[in-house]
Amino acid sequence: MPEIGVYAALFALAFVAATILTLQSEAMLTRLLGANYSPMWLITIGSVGNVLGSTVSWIRGRQIERPRHRRWFPINEAQLERAQRWGQRHGKWSLLLCCSAGCRWWAIR
């Protein structure tokens, strides 16, 4: 794969991993760091992808209540209230745990 394709794939994986899917972009980053690619570019591009993906998730989270009364909304009222209580009880620092696999599912189940 051409070098630009490797960096684009890392960016895309880091971006998607910071949104709704619990992918592990760190595994790809670790593998690429062991290959003959620039560590500075790998870390920079992976970080930018992750920050942009996290920004998308933050914006989506701020707007989650807008469609809450629509029939197609995937979370019912009780689940949404439970997730909001959990966030209020544990505080903003608990959001760091949401990067771990399965935490996003657990918070709304």
Instruction: Flag whether pLDDT at 107 surpasses 90.
Output: no
Angle at 18 between CA 87 and CA 97, to 5 degrees: 35
Distance CA 40, CA 32 (A): 12
Distance CA 74, CA 81 (A): 14
Pairwise pLDDT comparison (104 vs 27), residue with the higher score: 27
**pLDDT 10s digits, 43-75:** 999 999 999 998 998 888 788 778 878 888 888
Q: What pTM does this model have?
A: 0.67
Q: Exposed, middle or buried: residue 57 (CB in 10 Å: 0-12, 13-18, 19+)?
A: middle
pLDDT in the model for residue 105 = 47
**Which residues fall within 8 angstroms of residue 8, CB to CB, at 6 or more apart?**
none
Domain ranges of the chain: 1-63, 71-109
